[in-house]
Amino acid sequence: MADQFAGQVALVTGGGRGIGANIARELAEAGMRVATAARTRDQVERVAEEIGGLALEVDVSDEASVRRMVEDTERELGAIDLLVNNAGIGVRPDAPPIWEDEDAGEWWRVFEVNVLGPYLCCRSVLRAMVARGGGRIVNLGSGGGYLPLTPGKVGSTAYGPSKAALHRFGEVLAGQLEPHGIAVFTISPGLVRTSLTEALGDDAPWTPPSLAPQLVRALASGRADRLTGRYIHAEHDDLEDLIARADDIVEKDLSAIRLRRLIP
């Protein structure tokens, strides 16, 4: 339905390429007015021109830049109904281990973009959302935040921990916002082939790139709001099944990253 979200406004960070660009396309197809924002101006301009949206240049780790992004979106498109925190980075694959010559500034930059960025974006859009008593936020998480380590392929000590922090941030924020009628979700897009993951090669178990955008569109509809604060995987979760079992999921605290202790 091209007019499913007619009149609603979405703001997508990291929207100049890859998953973010596809999310922006999906939401525009659904009838939303979409602002797509990223650090690289020409990339977001191309996406915005394609979907008839608004292109914005932003550094999500900079509070003033985020504030301008939100103000420009509200001025040009109207009140923001959906925030998609997609902007994210990882440490380069050939970065040395922390006890050698790893750049501490590069390591911390991952947290600035992947955790501080969503925090600043949420804080900026929530002032108006709370006043209106409605809105939705979708954070793009990653299996790197909870999957067990693979011997010999441990990877960066920055990316996975930053995504684990993002999930917990979204879960706590959802609890704060539930009385205000605002839902927060953290999703995993699966292993989508992008410039960030390209080094994994042709044999990796790639996730179809359409799944995460379709999930964001479904979450934007409000039908899954009972699942606020939950972690949803674009490839491995059936959203309709989760919606049908929402009361049981909440009661049993399922679809969440938890430490489960075995008591003899």
DSSP state of 37: E
Indicate if the alpha-carbon torsion angle 207, 211, 212, 213 is positive or negative: positive
Q: Are 30 and 218 in contact, with CB atoms under 8 Å apart?
A: no
CA 156 to chain centre: 20
Q: List active site positions.
A: 159
User: Which two tokens mark 217?
Assistant: 């569109």
Could you list the beta-strand ranges (E) of 15-167: 33-38, 54-57, 82-85, 135-140
What is the enclosing helix (H) or strand (E) of 233? strand 231-233
Strands 9-13 and 33-38, how do they pair? parallel
DSSP of 165-231:
HHHHHHHHHHHHHGGGTEEEEEEE--S--STTTGGG-TTS-PPPTTHHHHHHHHHHTTTTGGGTT-E
